[in-house]
Copies of this chain bind each other. A is one copy, B any other.
Amino acid sequence: MNDTVPWLSAEEQRSWRSLVRLHQKLFSSLTADLQARSGLSGADFEVLVALTDVPEGRLRFQDLAKEIEWEQSRLSHQIRRMTKRELVAREECAEDGRGAFVVITGRGREVIEAAAAKHVVTVRRLVVDALTPDEFAELGRLSAKLGDHITGSR
C-alpha cells in the first residue's frame, strides 16, 4: 500500500487475519448464544457476574466500573437499562452523598445463575473442546503475554 511503511510479511499477515477473524466469530457467536438462551447481552452478563462475585451483590458504581474496566458513563447507561428490567437496583450511599450502590435483585440472581450454566457449556463446546489441552494452555499463555504487552504500551 505504501513502500515506506514496513508492511506485514505474508505469514504475519495470515496470522494477523486469523486472529482478527477468530475474535470476530468467537465473540459474535458467544453474544448471540447468550442473547438467544438467556436474554442477556454480553454487557448484562459482565455486570451480573461482577455483582455475584461480591458479598451481598452490592457495589459502588466506582468499584464496579473498576472491576470490569468500564467507563463511568457506560456503566451509568447500562445500569439505567438494567434497572428498568429489574435485574439490578440502585441504592443511595449514606457515607457519600454523591455516591450510589448497584445491587443485584433476586430476579437478577436467578437469571445470571441459569445463564452462567448455559454459557459455560457453550464456551466448552466452542472453545475448550476445539483444541488439545496443551494447545489451549498455550493459547492462554500467548493471549496473556499479548494482553499484558498491549496494556503496557498504552
Contact = CB atoms under 8 A, between A and B. Distances in A.
A2 B137 CA distance: 24
Contact of A143 (B4, B22, B116, B144): B22
Interface residues of A, number: 54
Nearest to A112: B1
A150 interface: yes
B27 A150 contact: no
Nearest to A135: B142
A39 interface: no
Contacts of A143: 15, 18-19, 21-22, 139
A12 interface: yes
A51 to B, nearest CB: 14
Interface stretch (A56-64, A79-87, A125-133): A125-133
Nearest 10 pairs of A and B residues by beta carbon? A15-B140, A130-B149, A18-B144, A18-B143, A22-B147, A22-B143, A19-B143, A139-B142, A5-B117, A2-B117
Given A4-B117, A15-B137, A23-B26, 4 more contacts: A5-B120, A8-B120, A14-B140, A16-B128
Interface of A: 1-2, 4-8, 11-12, 14-16, 18-19, 21-27, 29, 69, 113, 116-117, 120-121, 123-128, 130-131, 135-147, 149-151, 153-154
